[in-house]
Structure 1
Amino acid sequence: MKTARLAAAVAFALAGLVHAQDTTPPPAPTPATPPSPATATPSATTAPALPAIENSVVKIFATVRRPDLYKPWAKQSPADVTGSGVIIEGRRILTNAHVVGYASQVEVQASQSGDKVPAKVIALARGLDLAVLELEDPSFFDKRPPVQRAAVLPDVREAVYAYGYPVGGNSLSTTRGIVSRVEFVGYGSFSSGLRIQIDAPINPGNSGGPVIAGDKMIGLAFSMATNAQNIGYVIPNEEIELFLKDVADGRYDGKPLLHDSTQTLENPALRQYLKLEKSVEGAMVHRPYKKDASWPLKEGDIITHIGEHAVDNQGMVKLGSNLRVRFQYRIQQVAKNGKVPMTIVRGGKPMQVEVPASGPRPLLIPDLNGGYPSYFVYGPVAFTRATTEFMAFLLGSSGAMAAYSFNDSPLVTHLGDSPEGAREELVVISSPFFPHKLVTGYSNRFGSVVDTVNGVKIRSLAHLVSTLRDLKDEHVVFKFDQRYGETMILPRKAALDATEGILSDNGIRTQGSEDMMKVWGGK
């Protein structure tokens, strides 16, 4: 199941959605199974007067340097990207995280202006693809008002207008469409939220631009489908409000999440086995997040209500009179003090419980989350920790996926696992061996997960570095965690002596990232 899940995620990232900026973006969010589209009466919304919007929509120029996952000691070459942004309250600009992520320089240009004003990122949430900018010159906002945001979701089939600066021109662009559906989906980086689908064209460069219904903004354009025509996606105001509230203290903590796994209650045999009355509807807990006795949810519990909101047999809750979304949507609304009130049925009896909710759970293979990879070079071998970005880079083809699956690599078999005491993260060889006689005759171990070094089970990259640092043996014996794979033995002193020359030959300034060099130095 994990292999299939990863394959689907990689395939979708390559072919399903792209962000609407004018250079190749990072992988798109993974969608969840969509609910049935809602229906509503179409409205006769007209486009707001252009000057009212024109003054509040800006073009964003960013110079970005993303990580080089193949060479973790380096960054990719600088790339210039453009996107859109919208002025919001507090003399700030709202845009997408993928427009300004990894940016070394950000500038903002107003419509009909030749000046570019320096800006800096003051808040960013990669999972929800939102970011807030602050300008060096606050007078920029003196004659440029914030766009007002609607307090409610738009109706399905309501007319909308997308504003932004797509490629192909320099002036503000407007496209018209309707709301196709509203759903609760996975955005990426293990974040979920509401998403609006529209049929107004969203083109590269539109990312971060407002989508307007009537005279108010209903959300922020952020991506488009590449395998269909005129399907664009919008982050609705509700998600924006939660994000802005979260970052008010200068830090993004993330939305409360429920980590227990559930399934639907549609199957008659399942309901009969559980001895459920016909009147009982909800979602069944099939794998609690924790198995200890104190955890409030148990296997076989039926979640019938999230707060006061009834859950149906498809695991959906009503949102308004004509829309249903996954019940997880209500968690972000009802969670208080880190707990979610629920009504469950256990053993045929209803009961009230409070389930702890938190941000994304720790993962054995985490996201970089806007950072650069840690690394360490030892002789002709470079090591790094496995991340979801490295995985997408490594397993970006069906052939690679099949090979790693067949080899029983932990990169596949432990996808989605949480860290544990014996293994906090996966340590991998980040790139092919550097040319050197010390690795003559060995097969390329690029992408292999280190299992042991001289019999010591490796828990993390820092643990690998400290183990190598403290070794006194004549040889260093590397064994890898996979079905097929050689044992690699290096003469310890020769590997240490060769490292400096290898770094110099390959233009690598330091043997390791700053955090790993502290470990190597015994700090």
Structure 2
Amino acid sequence: MLVRNLRALVPRGFLSSPHSYNVRSNPVTMAGRVVRNLFAILNVGNNDRSTVKKKQNGRMKTKETCPVGLLKNSVVKVFFASRDYSRTRPWETHTERCYGTGFAISGKRILTNAHVVEVLNEHTSVHVKKRGSTIKYKAKVQKIAHECDLAILEIDSQEFWKGMNPLELGGIPPLKKAVFVLGYSGNRIWITKGLVSSFETKKYLHSDTELLRIQIDATIKNGNSGGPVILENKVVGVAYEGSQIQSSLIPTPIVKRFITGDEESDQQAVFCSLGLSYQSIKNAQIRNHFKMSSEMTGILINKINLWSGAYGILKKNDIILAIDGVPIANDATVPFWESERISFNYLISMKKPGETSMIKVLRRGKEHEYNINLKPVKPHVRVQQYYKRPSYYIFGGFVFVPNHNLSESEEQHVIISEILEDDINQGYESFKDLQVEKVNKVKVKNLRHLFELIEENGTQNLSIDLEDDKVLVLNYESAKKADSIILKRHNITSAISNDLTGSSN
């Protein structure tokens, strides 16, 4: 560096031309400049090394004293493997493998997301691995609630729990506060920093249940699901969903409700719902129509579900003014925390099943109060399927199954999920995925009803009406003969799932 910078010793222009700078004109000034430049060059190395050393010391100090980093030993990698049943070819299974994150809580338990260990059947395998370890410990799913996307694991190994400290659950983090997400991506734990951006009640993607969630302005990595979100050494949420610009956290009030909730079984919901549909009444004209005074605010009931605790008590077109003394605004919100507002559903969801809420309503211009017995949220149809072998019925090479993507209604829609090719079904190739509506002019209620209608037919021709006015005609005896060949060709042991024959699973 000294050689490269020798030219810097001499003021600019001194070496370029004998006419450009006259050294005799001011020898003192020239000497001073040379000396100053020489000292500057000699100190460059020392300054650089000093700066680097300061930066290294700063990083070392941050690494040693960072409270979030010290919590890594309480975070584990969760491995999940299962053979799940195909929904279109229900006699087949496929292997699913994934991983996520979990962390230690009190009582020698691991908390993670339900979707990390979602498919629970006789083929499921769950293991966990500690930070820095190569050993996978077998884990058991002790409790799971798909409604809030949480699960608790138990590990029956004293060796696993050595040096494993439970993390403490905190409260709700303030808006704009920095939080840290700890989670596995690959074989290492990543720490992602984000600011709390909002609180809201939204449907959880995993179960379609509307519960409180927190948004942060950070993108969590694949594998971070189930990881703790830390503020001041305490857990303020569990990571469960992310996008390119923000991520969602399950807040600790939901976590605590799940952990301490009194459940009759490990799969029952622990959150409540009024079980009704409603609309906001921000428009002044509709408020006048329902005889609301200028001081009144609330929501309009559109429909009450049969399973609701409010069924037969509250009525359509009632205006809900308040819940347990808390007024509901015309936009369906109630006061929450730090001057924030949130959907009134939060007040109901955090109640225990069987508890009551005092509902104040306006009905035909008069106020009434009713104690409503609260019911647990109704499990989403997709959640219920996690614990069932799929039903199916094969006839004429057509595979009939329930449509699991449809609603929770009493009637079960049936579709053709697959067509196992054979001469018997030639020309019907385009009927795949169509819904079955009738058999010999009789409306099909569910898969079992379809099975009974066909099997009771005997030797007659069958006319099956499908959606879009398509018609499928099969001869019963010919279809049965073809089925025996089709089953052997595809190595299918039975044309009927066990639940339709009355056999146990």
TM-score range, shorter chain: 0.7 to 0.9
Shift, 1:237, TM fit: 1.1
Aligned match of 1:201: 219
Residue 301 of structure 2: SS of its match in structure 1? Answer: strand
The amino acid of 1:315's aligned partner reads A
Shift, 1:364, TM fit: 8.5
What are structure 1's unaligned runs of at least 5 residues? 1-45, 389-414
Aligned match of 2:172: 153
* Equivalent pair of 2:111/2:226 in contact (CA under 8 Å): yes
The amino acid of 1:429's aligned partner reads I
Aligned match of 2:272: 256
Shift, 1:200, TM fit: 3.1
Residue 202 of structure 1: SS of its match in structure 2? Answer: coil
* Equivalent pair of 2:261/2:352 in contact (CA under 8 Å): no
Shift, 1:236, TM fit: 0.9
Aligned match of 2:435: 449
What are structure 2's unaligned runs of at least 5 residues? 1-64
Residue 55 of structure 1: SS of its match in structure 2? Answer: helix
Are residues 1:64 and 2:82 paired?
yes
Shift, 1:187, TM fit: 0.8
How is 1:40-51 mapped onto 2 (pairs within 5 angstroms)?
48-51=67-70
Shift, 1:290, TM fit: 5.1
Aligned with 1:418 (options 409, 424, 432) = 409
* Equivalent pair of 1:366/1:386 in contact (CA under 8 Å): no
* Equivalent pair of 1:364/1:425 in contact (CA under 8 Å): no
Aligned with 1:516 (options 483, 490, 500) = 500
Measure, in 2, the Cα distance between the counterparts of 1:250 and 1:363.
17
RMSD: 2.6
* Equivalent pair of 2:111/2:150 in contact (CA under 8 Å): yes
Residue 193 of structure 1: SS of its match in structure 2? Answer: strand
Shift, 1:155, TM fit: 0.7
Aligned match of 1:484: 469
Residue 65 of structure 1: SS of its match in structure 2? Answer: strand
Structure of greater Rg: 2
Aligned with 1:279 (options 284, 295, 302) = 295
Residue 165 of structure 1: SS of its match in structure 2? Answer: strand
* Equivalent pair of 2:400/2:414 in contact (CA under 8 Å): yes
Structure 1 250/276 Cα, relative in aligned 2: closer, same or farther at 3 Å?
closer
* Equivalent pair of 2:208/2:380 in contact (CA under 8 Å): no
Structure 1 367/484 Cα, relative in aligned 2: closer, same or farther at 3 Å?
farther
Aligned match of 2:399: 382
The amino acid of 2:402's aligned partner reads R
Are residues 1:245 and 2:260 paired?
yes
How is 1:9-20 mapped onto 2 (pairs within 5 angstroms)?
none
Structure 1 161/47 Cα, relative in aligned 2: closer, same or farther at 3 Å?
farther
Shift, 1:208, TM fit: 0.6
Measure, in 2, the Cα distance between the counterparts of 1:112 and 1:149.
24
Structure 1 222/247 Cα, relative in aligned 2: closer, same or farther at 3 Å?
farther
Aligned match of 1:504: 488
Shift, 1:387, TM fit: 0.6
Structure 1 291/246 Cα, relative in aligned 2: closer, same or farther at 3 Å?
closer
Aligned match of 2:416: 429
The amino acid of 1:256's aligned partner reads C
Aligned match of 2:317: 300
Tell which deviates more after alignment, 446-455 or 258-267: 446-455
Shift, 1:139, TM fit: 4.0
* Equivalent pair of 1:307/1:341 in contact (CA under 8 Å): yes
Shift, 1:333, TM fit: 3.3
Residue 502 of structure 2: SS of its match in structure 1? Answer: helix
Structure 1 127/364 Cα, relative in aligned 2: closer, same or farther at 3 Å?
closer
Structure 1 362/201 Cα, relative in aligned 2: closer, same or farther at 3 Å?
closer
Measure, in 2, the Cα distance between the counterparts of 1:365 and 1:155.
34
The amino acid of 2:287's aligned partner reads R
Aligned with 1:117 (options 137, 152, 159) = 137
How is 1:12-411 mapped onto 2 (pairs within 5 angstroms)?
48-51=67-70, 53-76=71-94, 78-102=95-119, 104-150=124-170, 152-167=171-186, 170-188=187-205, 189-225=207-243, 228-229=244-245, 231-246=246-261, 249-254=264-269, 255-289=271-305, 295-334=312-351, 337=354, 339-361=356-378, 368-388=385-405
Measure, in 2, the Cα distance between the counterparts of 1:161 and 1:366.
30
Measure, in 1, the Cα distance between the counterparts of 2:91 and 2:239.
34
Measure, in 2, the Cα distance between the counterparts of 1:426 and 1:95.
34
Measure, in 1, the Cα distance between the counterparts of 2:381 and 2:231.
43
Shift, 1:224, TM fit: 0.4
How many residue pairs end up in the alignment?
435
* Equivalent pair of 1:154/1:213 in contact (CA under 8 Å): yes
Measure, in 1, the Cα distance between the counterparts of 2:72 and 2:226.
14
TM normalised by structure 2 equals 0.80
Aligned match of 1:43: none
* Equivalent pair of 1:63/1:80 in contact (CA under 8 Å): yes
Shift, 1:315, TM fit: 0.4
Measure, in 2, the Cα distance between the counterparts of 1:48 and 1:174.
12
Query: Percent identity over the alignment?
Result: 29
Shift, 1:365, TM fit: 8.7
Tell which deviates more after alignment, 128-137 or 156-165: 128-137
Shift, 1:375, TM fit: 0.9
Measure, in 2, the Cα distance between the counterparts of 1:366 and 1:80.
19
Measure, in 2, the Cα distance between the counterparts of 1:161 and 1:203.
13
Aligned match of 1:463: 449
Measure, in 2, the Cα distance between the counterparts of 1:65 and 1:181.
38
* Equivalent pair of 1:384/1:427 in contact (CA under 8 Å): yes
